[in-house]
Amino acid sequence: MNKLKLFICLLISILSLQLYSQTFEFFVDLNADTSSTPSNFFVYNDLLFFTADDDTTGNEPWVTNGTVKGTYRLCDINQKGSSNVSDYCIYNGKLFFTAIDSGGERNLWVTDGTSKNTKVFKDFNPFTDYVSNLFVFKNKLFFIANDDVHGAELWASDGTVEGTSLFKDINPYKNEGATVNSTAIIDDLLYFSADNGDNGNEVWISDGTTSGTKMLIDIQVGGNSSFPSGFTLYKGKVYFSAYDDLHGTELWVTNGSTTGTRIVKDLTLTSTAPRNLIVYLDTLYYQAYDTLNGCELWKSDGTEKGTNIFKNLYVNDIESSNPSNFFIYNNKLYFVFQNATNGKEIGVTDGNYDNTGLFVDINTGAESSNPNGFTLFNKKIYFIATDGTNGAELWWSDGTTEGTSKIKPAIAPNTAPLINTNFVIFKNDLYFNANYNTSGNELWRIIGPKTSATNQIIRNTQFEVLPNPATTSIRLNIDKTTKISIVNLQGASVLSTTVEPLMEISIENLPSGVYFVVDDFGTTNGKFIKR
């Protein structure tokens, strides 16, 4: 009986690999001579936007509807070189982005998805190239721009040129700019770091009005900067990293008021430099440093007593494991770390000390697999790693060691076919750039699973997410019990659950940002903004 079960399992595995190899395909060759190196993927208006270089016009915006015939260059923005499109943001049904024009200036552009209606939205200054960081807040499009009068400051737009203006001159000193960074929308407020020219780079907060935009607190007094970053919602408060001369760079918390902003744990003269904050199992995990353990995995329950190192992953050595690339999948927290025995590999925890450590040693021994690019697709995690034989290649995992393996397409791969690779899910397929054949680095895709007609109807039904944007909870307009996952922009699942009609789904502990609702078939069926 055991032999029969083993035979059936092996047969299923072989059939699955055969079926899988047929779904891995070369999509289109945009540069016949070298590589087009497609990147900066973004889905809008049932089209996939990306940038590519066809060796004729430089790096410019392209679109595809999922067919080779429907793949074309949107426009040639920079006729003297590359436009290097970035900062995509959807607002009022249109796609805004920044691009470098033929004059060498980076300005704000807009499109409805057609070449005819792709145009510069506003030319802020013919002598500068600074427009960036587009986001939607309080029903307006916000961004950073330099008009050569105020320096780089915060601007806002209602979607019209005449309704686009400087939102607030944070740094009034001519041409110096406020150096706005680390923007995060949390609980209907905008948190960010900025420099007003007198206090250095400090914590700022905005309710969407000019008068309600102000410095929250001057952490590093005397005109120097605390460089706050990593704003993350946890237990109804905002946690972040900031520096002062007394404590170094430490974990801070605020309830949105000046008096309610404080350091979480006082480690005088010891800088833990917290980074990569993520909420998992009602606990805040992050990377931090101390002189005894190096840079390791820490956790906090929001109290001074409950904020400590969680585990030294570098085998009790002062060398650092440097945990990073955190993501949640199948109710476990995964991350990338390194030690002397395994090199840089994938780690995992279920919240228990004894169950925290190496997930799988892909490049066995002390050499590193350098895993990166984690993306959730078809209920599996896809990522890039090297096992020491052929450089960076495509891997997948179902969350088990035995279910983690290299994907071998039915072609002869080149050495390191996945260098600087980007992933995106579009129309239930996984698109990415790779160099597997003689065409160079071009666009490839993995076709999503085929289902019955009944399931296909379910897969194509879009969930309406209410409210949207949301702060503490959401509801889905479903008519039956449904298994769903909530996925962030990096493709990592941050919540998996079974929901019923009208059921409230708590998102209070999720960081602010854009999320997707994925059904039990691995199909993206909804999108919402967490404030």
pLDDT digits (tens, 9 = 90+) for 235-253: 999 999 999 998 999 999 9
CA distance 229 to 241: 5
List of residues 6+ apart from 406 with CB closer than 8 A:
385, 387, 393, 394, 395
Q: Which two tokens stand for residue 372?
A: 């990166």
Q: Rounded to whole angstroms, what are the CA distances from 383 to 380, 429, 435? A: 10, 15, 16
List of residues 6+ apart from 271 with CB closer than 8 A:
243, 247, 248, 249, 250, 289
CA distance 254 to 219: 12
Question: Which of 297-306, 313-322, 455-464 is predicted with the least confidence, judged by mean pLDDT?
Answer: 455-464
CA distance 178 to 147: 13
Q: How many CA atoms lie within 13 A of 293 on its CB side?
A: 22
Nearest to 296 by CA among 255, 324, 271, 277: 324
Burial of 365 (0-12, 13-18, 19+ CB in 10 A): exposed
pLDDT digits (tens, 9 = 90+) for 134-156: 999 999 999 999 887 888 899 99
pLDDT of residue 127: 60
CA distance 105 to 421: 27
Other beta carbons less than 10 A from residue 86's beta carbon: 17
CA distance 394 to 380: 13
Rounded to an integer, the average pLDDT of 468-489 is 76
pLDDT digits (tens, 9 = 90+) for 72-92: 999 999 999 999 999 999 999
Residue at token pair 């949107």 = 74
Rounded to an integer, the average pLDDT of 280-287 is 94
**Cβ(72)–Cβ(61) below 8 Å:** no
Q: Which long-range contacts (CB under 8 A, 24 or more apart) does 194-197 make?
A: 194/154, 194/170, 195/170, 195/171, 195/225, 196/170, 196/171, 196/172, 197/171, 197/172, 197/173
> Would you give the distance in Å from CA 157 to the centre of its chain?
25
Q: What is the pTM of this model?
A: 0.81
Rounded to an integer, the average pLDDT of 19-34 is 79
**Cβ(390)–Cβ(413) below 8 Å:** yes
Nearest to 42 by CA among 117, 91, 97: 97
pLDDT of residue 405: 95
CA distance 511 to 234: 8
What does the longest C-alpha to C-alpha distance in the chain come to?
Answer: 81
Question: Which of 205-219, 254-268, 269-283, 452-466 is predicted with the least confidence, judged by mean pLDDT?
Answer: 452-466
Domain limits, the chain: 1-25+376-448, 31-178, 188-271, 279-305+318-370, 466-530
Q: Which two tokens stand for residue 269?
A: 């003269």
Label residue 128 by pLDDT band (50, 70, 90): low
What CATH topology corresponds to 466-530?
A: Immunoglobulin-like (2.60.40)
Residue at token pair 């905008």 = 190
Q: What is the DSSP string of 48-60?
A: EEEEEE-SSS-EE
Question: Which of 17-31, 143-157, 379-393 is predicted with the least confidence, judged by mean pLDDT?
Answer: 17-31
> Would you give the distance in Å from CA 158 to the centre of its chain?
26
Q: Which two tokens stand for residue 309?
A: 């190192």
Q: Is the pLDDT of residue 300 over 70?
A: yes
Domain 31-178 class in CATH: mainly beta
Q: What is the mean pLDDT of the chain?
A: 86
Label residue 273 by pLDDT band (50, 70, 90): very high
Q: Do domains 31-178 and 466-530 have the same CATH topology?
A: no
Residue 329's identity, in one-letter code, is Y
Label residue 429 by pLDDT band (50, 70, 90): very high
Percent of the chain with pLDDT over 90: 65
pLDDT of residue 401: 94
Residue spans of alpha helices (H) in 1-71: 2-21
pLDDT of residue 254: 97
Residue at token pair 């925290």 = 356
